[in-house]
């Protein structure tokens, strides 16, 4: 974990003492095996990525903070800007002063570098744009993983369901073959359940992390506009 990440996390994040790393849990999810001769396709159709937001509560993760902070580091603008201003604010955190005084004190240092409030707000806005682009890239990656891990298996489930329906009509002669397909279908259903929860959890965690970080920056922008004229 880079020094930049640790420094930026100390600025933006209040550590609860229970950080989540890059482990996306799938505990608590189980799928029962249906040994009947027919499996409803409705269970396949109910798997919809558009319904994913809100189904799993997100949490802050070091994994996604690192992704976002690394993108800020790569796009750090030359000279004194919002990130340096934020660092100066953090350095004053342990000094007994109200928020307005802390912002003005940090701003005094910024002015010494030829920076004004407009430049601070503008540079903070650029970092929001960087984070928004990172969010768009992540959503594209989520869509790609959904297509790879969910949609393909949904098609497999549909095909196997059709085969089971057809071979059930042949009764005893095809009974062994039907059981084999049912085993494959159950395995696919288990895989989809695990993959779906993992993807939905990752998306929920990222969005919670993203919203938390952007709200902090937006809050600083509002305070800069309020306190620094």
Query: Is position 3 within any domain?
Result: no
Measure the CA–CA gap between 5 and 7, rounded to whole angstroms: 5
pTM over 0.85: no
Query: Is position 192 within any domain?
Result: yes
Query: Is position 24 within any domain?
Result: no
Where helices occur in 92-148 by DSSP H, the ranges are 99-112, 117-146
> Number of helices and strands (H, E) in the chain?
8, 0
Summarised one tens digit per residue, pLDDT across range 136-156 is 988 888 888 888 888 888 888
Query: Which pLDDT score, from 0 to 100, does residue 10 have?
Result: 59
**Structural domain of residue 210, as residue ranges?**
60-227
Query: Which pLDDT score, from 0 to 100, does residue 170 have?
Result: 72
> Using an 8 Å Cβ cutoff, are 4 and 69 in contact?
yes
Measure the CA–CA gap between 65 and 206, rounded to whole angstroms: 8
Query: Is position 74 within any domain?
Result: yes
Summarised one tens digit per residue, pLDDT across range 184-227 is 889 999 999 999 999 999 999 999 999 999 999 999 999 999 99
Summarised one tens digit per residue, pLDDT across range 7-65 is 556 556 555 444 443 343 333 333 333 433 444 444 445 455 554 444 678 888 888 88
Query: Is position 69 within any domain?
Result: yes
Query: Is position 49 within any domain?
Result: no
Query: Which pLDDT score, from 0 to 100, does residue 9 have?
Result: 60
Query: Is position 203 within any domain?
Result: yes
What is the number of structural domains in the chain? 1
**What's the rounded mean pLDDT across residues 104-131?**
90
> Using an 8 Å Cβ cutoff, are 164 and 188 in contact?
no
Query: Is position 21 within any domain?
Result: no
């Amino acid at each position: 974990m880079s020094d930049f990440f640790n420094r930026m996390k100390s600025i933006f994040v209040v550590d609860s003492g229970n950080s989540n790393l890059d482990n996306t849990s799938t505990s608590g999810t189980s799928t029962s095996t249906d040994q009947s001769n027919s499996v409803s396709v409705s269970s396949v159709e109910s798997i919809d990525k558009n319904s994913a937001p809100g189904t799993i509560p997100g949490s802050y993760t070091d994994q996604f903070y690192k992704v976002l902070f690394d993108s800020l580091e790569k796009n750090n603008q030359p000279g004194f800007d919002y990130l340096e201003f934020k660092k100066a604010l953090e350095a004053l955190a342990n000094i007994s002063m109200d928020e307005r005084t802390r912002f003005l004190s940090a701003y005094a240092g910024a002015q010494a570098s030829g920076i004004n409030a407009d430049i601070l707000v503008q540079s903070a806005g650029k970092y929001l744009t960087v984070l928004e682009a990172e969010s768009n890239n992540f959503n594209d990656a989520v869509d790609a993983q959904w297509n790879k891990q969910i949609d393909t298996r949904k098609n497999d489930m549909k095909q196997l369901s059709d085969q089971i329906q057809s071979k059930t009509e042949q009764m005893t002669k095809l009974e062994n073959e039907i059981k084999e397909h049912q085993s494959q279908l159950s395995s696919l259903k288990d895989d989809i359940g695990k993959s779906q929860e993992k993807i939905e959890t990752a998306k929920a965690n990222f969005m919670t992390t993203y919203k938390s970080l952007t709200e902090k920056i937006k809050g600083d922008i509002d305070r800069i506009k309020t306190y620094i004229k």
